[in-house]
Amino acid sequence: MESSTRRRYTKGQSKGNETLGDCSEDEAAEDKQNTSLSCFNSYVVFFVYVGSAGLIYLSMYLLFHSFPTPIKEETGLSGNQFCEERARYHLENITKFGPRVAGSYANEVQAKDYLLMEVQRMEQQLHASKRMEIDLQITSGSFQLVDFIQTTFFSVYRNMQNVVVKITEQKESEDSFLINCHYDSVSSSPGAGDNAVSCSVMLEIIRIISMSSIKLKHNVIFLFNGAEENMLQASHGFITQHKWAKSIKTVINLDSAGAGGWEVVFQTGPEHPWLVAAYADSVPHPFGSVIGQEFFELGLIPSDTDFRIFRDFGKIPGLDIAHIANGYIYHTMYDQPKYIPAGCLQRAGDNLLALTLKLATNPKLADPGLDRHGSVIFIDFLGFFMIHYPMRIGMILNYLTVVLCFLHIYKRSGRYTTKDLSGWSYVLLVLCFVLTSVLTWVLCTFLLASFGLMMSACGWAMCWFTHNINIFFIFIIPSLAVVLRTQQYFRVYFWKKIHPCVKEEIHFDASLLIWSIFTFTLTICGLASAFMPMLWTLFPLVIRTYVAYYINPDWKSSLSSYLLVSLSSIAVPAVLMMEVIFGIFSLIVPIMGRSGTEMPPDVAIAAITSLLVCLYSQYLIGATYMCHNVNSFLVFLASCFTVSMFVVIFTPLGLPFSGNPDGPSPKRVLSFHMQRKFYNKTGHITKEDSGLWNLHYDYLGSDLYLDNEFIKNSQLKICDGPNCGLPYLIPISHMLDPRQSLYYMNLEDPGVTPLVRLKLIGRKAVLPDVERLTFQASGPDHMTMYVAPQSGVQLVAWSINRGHPAPVSKTKASNETLYFVYYSHGLLPDTPWEFYLDFKLTERTDVVTEIAMCGHYLHGDQHITPLLQRFINSLPDWTVPNAWVVTYNLYQY
């Protein structure tokens, strides 16, 4: 019996010969039983495909850099209208204090006083229906950070400051929600984007709400926390100790991984799907995706926010919102107000104001009811609106789509006989095409990752870091070429006798099956991201199989109709996926400049790019079975790639970093004036040295300025103590390998005060085999402590934190058991830091433990010494230094 599909192709042979162009003689010989083959021009087909993808990506870029018109104060504001001009005034004033490190005068006095002054001024203009309370919290405490940047350690803080404002009706509610920002910054940055911009927006929101007559059902608490960059310490002090914390039902956390751009919702919950609904229903410019949330939860982003503190220690659900654009200047001296585009604050303020008013009047804040549980699937559509629905509905939709896909393939298989398919069964062919697609993906990813590794080895690493367009030429083009060449190979050597149009249909059904398998697998794993493969299954299936054949059964007979149907069938999932891809690349490309020394970034970018190309082009690549001159097009792609590599290698367009002041993408340089002293158990110094320690922040290290006088005279660091004998601020030697760091020893004394001191003030047996050592420690406002028990000794308890002490993860650099404590204070404490350590001795030993106390001088006149200044002056203009003085004192007890 002749299949209906095949009859349709035969019926349109004459028309096909006129409109599709002539097939080559080789292709005609492949299938002599068919007198007419559907042969499109591969140049036209793939230029349209690539061009459409590029157009979508360009649209994303233009949209992502568009903002509402900033509202100025003189334009005549309505009562509840956000004004960017006022918010930017606060931004300029906060950042003019310079870097605001916890413990510094700029942070503990100037920035704090400015915030208090502004909210007290607003209190004088309070609406008659409102009450405002202002509290300055000074907090101390300790906690354990688990899986923070893939490591675990303990944090101790003393006298950290929080400025807290509560706005209520005259009759106060029992329920509140929290809006949080942090006004401190890292030592190398004025912190405009991270995070003065959020605090400036919050000040303007306070002004609007405090002067508004809108009735609030719930209290609104604004937290300006003074120590987020100190490993999230101030937020912990607030949520575990503040008098208003128990009334808080939800939190909106505001942070940044860049400077400006659209603010994205990248963490929600836990559970409480009503929060996403409130966001989606209220904000005028929504932006966020559950895919971004699950991507962040993988732990691949080397940072975290206060949101985890509120979630883990306060058990409070909420929304985590952050700016992610221009991550090149994140935590650098370039994080200044001028790099935050006009309209950015207006967009953030409009959204936050709408969300604040929505939550302040939402009865679900007090009692979410059934919406207390369950997850939600959400994604915005180009920032215009947000689609959201419960996970349980998504699971049903996903499974129905999978069933529909299998029914479609079963129905299609009945249309063909083995004679039609040269002895093959249809289902078997579909499975074979699935296998060839998977093999193509594996081959493409492997080849591109290998190519990325080769680029790193040859000194061409990160040529895409500044000029992102290079990703297209050196990764996307070869990925497309590998996919096309592989499919061409299977076409010629395996599916030679099958009609091209039938092969295209089989490839389409195989693609449906692949996406449906993804949908099923992700759904079974409980991942909300399963909605994306569901869309890639549902839309092509419905549009190609039903809509297109209903409108024009012979749509494959002309190139224009074929392209129209192919592109329209994937339009919706393509746009949504491209938005996710744009967001991911906007985030991870700058992160590659601070991702450490362990993984070649070219391998990561190449592998991610090739995999995304394979996924995005899965349906479109089926056109190769209906195209002639594919080999010619492959030669064209190879030529483009060759020319691109020539440009990358021999022109400035391949340079990874840029110091262009209009748009810097600098190389980060971690440099320390380090002084080390090693004491034996009698307290005598057995070894001391000092000099310039360079810890590499990215994979390239110092390769691009090896002729620098300091670098030429440096040596690779040799490990000679706990944590390699080096004073890390946080335990990330798994990312920044100490053995690849450089040490320029010149014995120049940094001359800093106060000096780090560790004093043993008590030693006694608390059990027959347990000895307690009590210490007093003093020094600068940032210190780290390594505790390294000796062989036969275990650290079983301490006063630093409740619970059993947990060591940091062991690294390939060392197999030692090491306990890491991060200490800092804001206001200067009246007494030294006092703590005890309990050690269990399983065998007699002269030395129970080694303790390294490290001082970090992050601010003030001392943090840049003449040695550091000379080194900074010697660096190229495309670098940005992050430098301070560190000391390492090793004691034996």
Active site residues: 228
Cα R_g (the chain), whole angstroms: 31
Alpha-carbon distance 111 to 100, whole Å? 8
Residues 6+ apart with CB under 8 A from 691: 673, 674, 743, 744, 745, 746, 747, 748, 867
Task: Using DSSP, state whether 390 is helix, strand or coil.
Answer: strand
What is the rounded CA–CA span in Å between residue 269 and residue 893?
Answer: 47
Which amino acid, one-letter code, is at 681?
Answer: K
Contact, 585 vs 61, CB < 8 A? no
Cβ(809)–Cβ(787) below 8 Å: no
Cβ pair 750, 865 in contact under 8 A: yes
Among residues 59, 61, 69, 63, the alpha carbon closest in space to that of 347 is found at 69
Closest CA to 121 of 109, 134, 110, 135: 134
Residue 293 CA to residue 265 CA, distance in Å, equals 8
| Residue 225 bridge partners (DSSP) | 162, 182
Q: Token pair 């215009």 is at which residue?
A: 384
User: Please, what is the Cα angle at 278 between 273 and 281, to 5 degrees?
Assistant: 125
Q: Quick one: DSSP state of residue 548?
A: I
Torsion of CA 103, 107, 110, 115, to 10 degrees: -130
Q: Give the residue among 220, 254, 255, 245 at the shortest CA–CA distance from 314.
A: 245
Hey, what are 752's tokens? Answer: 């800093």
Q: Virtual CA dihedral for 32, 34, 35, 37, nearest 10 degrees?
A: -110
Closest CA to 497 of 420, 574, 444, 440: 420
H helices of 651-721, in order, are 709-712
CA–CA separation, 817 vs 791, rounded Å?
Answer: 10
Q: Is residue 177 a contact partner of residue 221, using CB atoms and an 8 Å limit?
A: yes
∠ CA(663), CA(667), CA(670), 5° rounding? 135
Pairing of strands 263-269, 318-323: antiparallel
